[in-house]
Amino acid sequence: MKNKILVVANWKANPESLKLAKGIFSGIKKSATKFRGVETVVCPPVIYLESLKNNSLTLGAQDFFWERGGAFTGFVGYESLLETKIKYAIIGHSERRALGEDNKTISRKLTAALASHITPILCIGEIVRDANLKYLDFIKEQLIEAFYKIPKTKVKDVVIAYEPVWAIGKNAVRDARPREVEEISILTKRIVGDLYKTKSVPPIKILYGGSVTPGNASELLEKGAIDGFLVGGASLDPKKFGEILEIANNFKK
Of 163, 182, 222, 243, which residue is the catalytic one?
163
Tell me the chain's radius of gyration from C-alpha atoms. Answer: 17
Question: Cβ 71 to ligand PGA, closest distance in Å?
Answer: 31
Of 93, 101, 141, 222, which residue is the catalytic one?
93
Residue from 7, 159, 191, 231 binding ligand PGA (CB under 6 A): 231
Question: Cβ 226 to ligand PGA, closest distance in Å?
Answer: 14
Query: Does residue 87 contact residue 41 with C-beta atoms inside 8 Å?
Result: yes
Question: Cβ 122 to ligand PGA, closest distance in Å?
Answer: 12
Which positions from 10 to 29 touch ligand PGA by CB under 6 A, shown as an x/- string? x-------------------
Query: Does residue 40 contact residue 73 with C-beta atoms inside 8 Å?
Result: no
**Residue 169 touches ligand PGA, criterion: CB under 6 A:** yes
**Residue 163 touches ligand PGA, criterion: CB under 6 A:** yes
CA dihedral sign, ordered 197, 201, 205, 207: positive
SS3 55: coil
Residue from 61, 86, 139, 230 binding ligand PGA (CB under 6 A): 230
CA–CA separation, 86 vs 109, rounded Å? 15
Answer yes or no: 93 catalytic.
yes
**Residue 216 touches ligand PGA, criterion: CB under 6 A:** no
> Where are the alpha helices (H) located in 2-74, listed in sequence order?
18-34, 46-52
Residue type, 237: D
- Residue 130 sits at the vertex; the CA angle it makes with 128 and 136, to the nearest 5 degrees, is 85
**Residue 178 touches ligand PGA, criterion: CB under 6 A:** no
Count CB neighbours of 208 within 10 A. 30
Q: What single DSSP character describes residue 167?
A: G
Answer yes or no: 145 catalytic.
no
Residue from 60, 125, 202, 209 binding ligand PGA (CB under 6 A): 209
Q: Which residue is nearest to ligand PGA (CB)?
A: 232
Q: What is the 3-state secondary structure (H, E, C) of 60-94?
A: EECCCCCCCCCCCCCCCCHHHHHCCCCCEEEECCH
**Residue 228 touches ligand PGA, criterion: CB under 6 A:** no
C-beta closer to ligand PGA: residue 129 or 154: 129
Judged by CB under 6 A, the stretch of 74-82, 152-160, 207-215, 220-228 that binds ligand PGA is: 207-215
Catalytic residues: 93, 163
Q: Which residues bind ligand PGA (CB under 6 A)?
A: 10, 163, 168-169, 209-212, 230-234
